[in-house]
Amino acid sequence: MSAISVMQAAVLGVVEGVTEFLPISSTGHLKITEGLMGIPVDDKAVVGFTAVIQVGAIAAVLVYFFKDIVRIVSAWGRGLVDREERYHHDYKFAWWVIYATAPIVVVGLAAKPLIDGPLASLWVVAGSLIAGSGLMWVADHVGRHKRGEDDTDLRDTMIVGAAQILALLFPGFSRSGATMSTALILDLDRVAATRLSFFLGIPALTGAGLYELKDALGSGVDPLPVVVGTAVSFGVAYASIAWLLKYVAKHSFNAFVVYRIVIGLLLMGLLATGAVNA
């Protein structure tokens, strides 16, 4: 394939940064954007590139939640050597995130040929955008929003972590959308659901980016576009995180539901007419 240009990398970085943590599917929007720019969405180098620029968005989470992460990691470290510290919620939460990441790692490695191949189709993206909207709407209206971040336990974290598999297998479903919706069904409030989604995304997305690094740098994509795309995604993602946390504190997810349905139907129309290659 021809290398991704710096301009294309910057555009994809903006798309990644805006959509990674909003429940509208970053993978879906990246694939749509790649399709519109004539970039083959199932090319290994492209798959690797998009995984790597996700690291920029993850870096934004690390910076934004730096104090929280230091607090949790410190509690985990103290708990390893002090039995009394093991009763602290932060110590237990650190282990829960580790445990909850295991399922998506196993499925990701086992199903990689499908994820990079047939499931990378834009038809899958369009269908997943619409199907995920249904789950999000139900979760937002059924959940009682009565539990805060300190009320989460191992069961919550494992179930929400496993929900990431939906987005892994069906690009367009949205990792954030799947995890937030699942957390809402478990009666977490919107802010707690959003923050839990962020913390669970750190190991999963960082691991995916590092794993795909070899494909991004060794299969036709120049290092400069990778650096540009990653840097742009970092800056845009940081702003998106700040906005989302303020938004969900006062609003439902209805706007995201409507947006996803519109984009899903629009994409189906473009695919059906041949305007975009699946």
Q: What percent of the chain has pLDDT over 90?
A: 65
* 149 assigned to some structural domain: yes
* 47 assigned to some structural domain: yes
Rounded Cα distance, 115 and 113, in Å: 6
* 1 assigned to some structural domain: no
Tokens coding 57: 């968005």
Banded model confidence at residue 217, pLDDT cuts 50, 70, 90:
low
The per-residue pLDDT of the chain, averaged, comes to 90
| Rg for the chain, CA atoms, rounded | 18
Tokens coding 239: 């702003």
Q: Which domain holds residue 60?
A: 6-270
The DSSP 8-state label assigned to residue 3 in this structure reads P
More confidently predicted of 25 and 212 = 25
Number of domains in the chain: 1
Rounded Cα distance, 151 and 133, in Å: 26
Rounded Cα distance, 40 and 43, in Å: 6
Tokens coding 119: 């499931």
* 276 assigned to some structural domain: no
Banded model confidence at residue 1, pLDDT cuts 50, 70, 90:
very low
Average pLDDT over residues 225-237: 94
Check: CB of residue 129 under 8 Å from CB of residue 267: yes
Average pLDDT over residues 238-250: 96
* 222 assigned to some structural domain: yes
- Does the structure show a pLDDT above 70 at 214? no
Instruction: Return the closest-CA partner of residue 47 out of 127, 108, 104, 110.
Output: 108
* 225 assigned to some structural domain: yes
100-135, pLDDT tens digit by residue?
Answer: 999 999 998 898 888 878 888 889 989 999 999 999
Average pLDDT over residues 36-52: 79
Amino acid at 238: Y
* 104 assigned to some structural domain: yes
- Does the structure show a pLDDT above 70 at 3? no
What is the reported pLDDT for 34? 87
Report the 3 state secondary structure along 68-102: HHHHHHHHHHHHHHCHHHHHCHHHHHHHHHHHHHH
What is the reported pLDDT for 197? 95
* 133 assigned to some structural domain: yes
What is the reported pLDDT for 54? 85
Tokens coding 272: 């059906």
Check: CB of residue 65 under 8 Å from CB of residue 216: no
Identify the bridge partners of residue 188 per DSSP, sorted by sequence position: 147
- Does the structure show a pLDDT above 80 at 228? yes
This prediction has a pTM of 0.87
Amino acid at 5: S
Average pLDDT over residues 62-74: 96
